[in-house]
Amino acid sequence: MIDRRTEYATLGMALDGLGSVLTVSELHGGFCGALCAGGAGVASAWLEDQVRESESRADTAQAARDILRVVELETWRALASSDLEFTPLLPEDDLPLDERVTELALWCHGFLSGLALGDPSLADGSSRASKDPHADSGFEARREEIIKDFAEISRAGLNAEERSEPTDADFNLAEIIEYVRVSVQILFEEIGAARADEAGLPASMSEH
């Protein structure tokens, strides 16, 4: 397993080299959204698009690809693990609270963008499965609730009271990050299972 601080810093250097407008958090969120909704192939293509759009020199682009590939594999491994190891890639706790809140908001914004890219029908919380009389209505409701919650988090910021009581706000932020972590794991597993079912494959084969 890669150290999260090292992973964040290394990915940040790769994005700086590409001149990307995305932060580390936003890029990781976008990749996770694409991975959940569209699978490994769609997510890999999304990362490659970020490199191509930079129009960087060939050596810089290849160095970024190498770093992105490591992050890609690590994220996939964590989400696929039975130990529930996935964690959103966010700044460490030593950053000011308002910056950490902003980065979580960007992570969720990126996730929703990636989710919509992987499956455009998810952009408004709907899905083709909702038109299927045999669809799991419980999952449909959970998915719509998660998407709405992520949209709310993507607009998050500290109010005056939270700035005056940073300890309480920090605790709330930790709870929200945990909610995001668990929600992404749910979407990854349940959307992946639905995608495998549509293809007539066992869930374990859906990404290969």
CA distance linking residue 182 with residue 4, whole number of Å: 18
| Inter-CA distances, 54 with 22, 59, 120, 126, Å | 11, 13, 24, 32
CA distance linking residue 70 with residue 120, whole number of Å: 27
Angle at 129 between CA 200 and CA 122, to 5 degrees: 115
**Count of C-beta atoms within a 10 Å radius of residue 27:** 27
* pTM (two decimals): 0.85
pLDDT in tens, the chain (208 residues): 567 888 899 999 999 999 999 999 999 999 999 999 999 999 999 999 999 988 888 999 999 999 999 999 999 999 999 888 999 999 988 888 889 999 999 999 999 999 998 887 775 554 444 444 445 667 788 899 999 999 999 998 766 666 666 666 777 899 999 999 999 999 999 988 876 655 555 444 445 3
Instruction: Decide if domain 4-205 falls under CATH 1.20.120.740.
Output: yes
CA distance linking residue 67 with residue 59, whole number of Å: 13
Question: Do residues 24 and 15 make contact, with C-beta atoms less than 8 angstroms apart?
Answer: yes
